[in-house]
A and B are shown apart, each in its own frame.
Chain A
């Protein structure tokens, strides 16, 4: 377990969940992010897998640790889903750019999150398999329209595309999410709990039980 090291360094920890149709590449994205590896064939995920990885945002000297829940994609696993996004701070709704129905599925997940997930959750819609651009079924324009539509309803959804296979764009996603998360608030809240001591005693970001005002004013999160 990493603790705070440098005196100027800030540290915060967040729960992130991956959702989306089966075989869109959720586990592959996570493995690229966490282990920087890729396998053409990866065993289907049953239940959920748990991994962690951290990133640094250099400008603010902030280290962000993600606790990642990678989930099974099949429809029926949805009944387990609330367990995953319970207290999640961020969600990646992944689709396969070569599969139109997976894009619809990702939108369904966002709908679900808006209903069920903790307020203030940072949501990204991620098109994977960008290396297969020739077989693309979901056009950028479509995605952009969807994002705009959501925006008009008051939801800021992060839009990202990546290839777990080549690694293109994978880090960018987590960087974007890291920047959208309410890091300052979490650090403040930890400090007050700890009386200014080691700041990651309770690092779980935001959750439902906290007063909502804490979560207000997040430009990139939906509310």
Chain B
């Protein structure tokens, strides 16, 4: 057995346990745990091994279920309150039911991966996977291992500096920091909102603090305290149910993060036993519970990515409440049955583009014949680029940007709210427009080829934005930035209500029909009405007050 036992487990009051990165024995022990009753697993477990660890045989699994493993025992007693005696084994897919697993599944719900700040950089550089279990060299993102390592080599140093600043901030606010070489300090409470905190968050929350910080600033504790035991009850009540939602959920579980070792057992080398990963089980329970709790939403494809990423950083219960907060407060109706929020937010985004990035609008705001789109058609027939950008809002950039960049945006999003999505969408657009590659490609072409270039570019360009600091600086920096940091939530809210009111009016006229489904004849029929409704004989957004500062900023940026 390894000699570094004492460093192998760290007990935290949030019930995570770190395992030692380098121990092969631990790896096996860890895997055994994972298939039985471990409360914790760290991605770093994998780093020591060139190949992912062996998975123990099924029989071992069953035998181990009722015996607590020493490696998983160092759990803070305070968390035992969270351990519920639920039999949700029937939720396992395809009769993959493990008997005697009463305590098993309830404990699994407390599992999550704990990325470690202090992790030795060289370990991460050696591995094929990043800190969160994602394959580094992803075909999806056209990023190679070398690209990743080159970036991470520098990034991880800046992260460590940032971590020190966070420690200072915590101390400044009177938080006790236990300095212990073996234990990483991970706070569960954070300083109250302030400009200083906001600034720190924009520079990045330490990876291992993320789950707690997101939950804290998004108002998770409020939700949790008002709803003690609710999640467990829903899980119990929805155990084994089958309906339209669960059908789609089942199909999506393994299509959530096929590139992540925690979500895809095929990434492990062992071919004998392909047990369903714990995080897939958690994902299933969270999504089914959510669909049950928010019937007006049910299950919407893209929630799988949101829940999946949250599950890497926090428990199932917290993941569940974060989804509730997101869909109630941050991007309401985006995931609803008719995706009304998608139409609204895309309308808002388009109006922002028109207002703040006119050079982009020059490309987007034309039909394929090169004629400018009529103002009054914009909200009825959103420009085709929204087919690309709607997923940015639905999956909050998961799968769109490299994972660390997504996490940096999520840091800001959970603290600052939905304006963040608009700010970064605009920043990505502007970066794309300004990139030499795009300018090279789009020099000579018709309107159609220009738009098609743009569609393709807008899909591939964000995937390569590994440099999250650059993206964030471009968004917020006072000097040299685009100035989208001054796009206020108030402005977004007003624009949202403007767009949704307009859509409502049109919808009333076309009951049971989505705007985009209207035929040309119908549009001609109601054409005059549209003019009345929108006041298009004036300007489309006469009701809107735009932020002059952003426009000024952008035009000065252009001059440079």
Contacts and interface: CB of A to CB of B under 8 A. Distances in A.
Interface of A: 1, 22-23, 37, 39-52, 67, 69, 72-77, 79-80, 82-84, 86-87, 116, 200-204, 208
Contacts of A84: 387
B388 interface: yes
A79 B390 CA distance: 12
Interface in B186-212: none
A124 to B, nearest CB: 21
5 contacts: A1-B441, A41-B264, A46-B390, A48-B388, A200-B449
Interface stretch (B21-29, B58-66, B514-522): B514-522
A42 B343 CA distance: 26
A1 B453 contact: yes
B452 A1 contact: yes
B339 A22 contact: no
A47 B390 contact: yes
Given A41-B254, A77-B301, A204-B368, A83 B386 contact: yes
Given A79-B338, A83-B382, 20 more contacts: A22-B251, A23-B251, A41-B264, A43-B140, A43-B256, A44-B255, A44-B301, A45-B301, A48-B388, A50-B456, A51-B456, A52-B456, A79-B516, A80-B342, A83-B516, A200-B449, A202-B368, A202-B446, A202-B448, A204-B448
Interface stretch (B88-96, B233-241, B391-399): B391-399
A41 B258 contact: yes
A46 B517 contact: no
Contacts of B381: 83, 86
Contacts of A42: 255, 258
Contact of B339 (A41, A44, A80, A86): A80
Contacts of B459: 49-50
Given A1-B453, A77-B301, A80-B339, A69 B387 contact: yes
A58 to B, nearest CB: 25
A50 B388 contact: yes
Interface in B225-271: 244, 248, 251-252, 254-258, 264, 266
B455 interface: yes
A97 B20 CA distance: 47
B59 to A, nearest CB: 27
Contacts, number: 117
Given A82-B517, A83-B382, A204-B368, A1 B255 contact: no
A206 to B, nearest CB: 12
Contacts of B453: 1
B300 interface: yes
B140 A46 contact: no
A44 B248 CA distance: 11
Contacts of A79: 338-339, 343, 514, 516
Interface in B502-522: 514, 516-517, 519-520
B301 A72 contact: yes
Nearest to A42: B255
A75 to B, nearest CB: 8
A73 B251 CA distance: 11
A136 to B, nearest CB: 19
- Chain A to chain B: the 10 pairs with minimum beta-carbon distance, closest first: A41-B258, A47-B391, A46-B391, A82-B516, A23-B251, A47-B390, A48-B387, A46-B302, A50-B455, A74-B301
